[in-house]
Homo-oligomer: A and B are copies of this chain.
């Protein structure tokens, strides 16, 4: 079933029984460990536009998204910023700077109403020390993120905005799309034009025009944040590059 989080699961208010835990790095913890982690856990509700953390703040532990979507942004001092990644319900958040023992080097901004648990750093470090599999899970997780970051670097120079947009839509499909019986796809984008632009490394105007162009070519139709994709293959074609035959 392709509907990962249309309705937000009722998240239990403690770690040992948290329905998200099996899917996270915390899955390797036993009940006792989860319980002790839970004791110092705190949870906050973050409204759209608000920040879970911001660049420069001290990183004192790990976050876990219980509901909602969070955008990770990097910005320089000149008003430029890039949306580096989305973090969804059921994922841990802000582990990078925690492991680097540095202050936050990115902003985490809620895109929707979001609930976030905060896990005490000292306890996490303790678990990292005595539970090798815990570290290993994070090594895997960070590998994925690094892999995606590198893909994104390559794509930014190798593909035009149009193809990058298509790639983004396809990536969002799994979480935010649903197909009808005829295979036609509806995708509710979790982000604004501005966010899309920052994720693609382009300007808002360029994103809008790109969407128009795709509409003109019958690849999709767009209504605000809702996209209709009548034929997935056409969208997939957009990702491909023109390559002269040998």
Given that A80-B157, A84-B153, A152-B153 are contacting pairs, would A142 and B132 also be in contact in the complex, using a CB cutoff of 8 Å? no
Q: Which of B100, B129, B201 contacts A157 (CB 8 A)?
A: B201
| B105 in contact with A147 (CB, 8 Å) | yes
| A76 in contact with B154 (CB, 8 Å) | yes
Q: Which of B80, B135, B140, B147 contacts A136 (CB 8 A)?
A: B135
Which residue in chain B gives the minimum CB-CB distance to A241? B78
How many copies of this chain sit in the oligomeric assembly? 2
Residues of B within 8 A of A106 (CB): 150
| A140 in contact with B74 (CB, 8 Å) | no
| B201 in contact with A153 (CB, 8 Å) | yes
Whether a CB of chain B sits under 8 angstroms from the CB of A75 is yes
> How close is A181's CB to chain B, nearest CB, in angstroms?
34
The answer for the CA separation of A75 and B241 in the assembled complex, in Å, is 13
The answer for the CA separation of A130 and B145 in the assembled complex, in Å, is 25
The answer for the CA separation of A242 and B221 in the assembled complex, in Å, is 39
Q: Which of B138, B144, B158 contacts A80 (CB 8 A)?
A: B158
| B140 in contact with A139 (CB, 8 Å) | no
Per-residue B-contact encoding for A85-117, CB less than 8 Å = 1, 0 else: 000000000001101110001100000000000
Among A76, A78, A96, A157, the one with the most B-chain Cβ atoms within 10 Å of its Cβ is A157
| A143 in contact with B97 (CB, 8 Å) | yes
Per-residue B-contact encoding for A179-199, CB less than 8 Å = 1, 0 else: 000000000000000000000
Q: How many residues of A contact B (CB 8 A)?
A: 46
Q: Which of B140, B146, B150, B151 contacts A101 (CB 8 A)?
A: B140
Whether a CB of chain B sits under 8 angstroms from the CB of A156 is yes
Given that A129-B132, A138-B139 are contacting pairs, would A153 and B99 also be in contact in the complex, using a CB cutoff of 8 Å? no
| B146 in contact with A135 (CB, 8 Å) | no
| B81 in contact with A140 (CB, 8 Å) | no
Report the 10 A-B pairs with minimum CB-CB distance, sorted nearest first.
A80-B158, A157-B201, A135-B135, A100-B143, A149-B149, A99-B139, A82-B154, A78-B241, A99-B143, A74-B154
Residues of A with Cβ closer than 8 Å to B? Answer: 74-82, 84, 96-97, 99-101, 105-106, 128-130, 132, 135-136, 138-140, 142-147, 149-158, 201-202, 241, 243
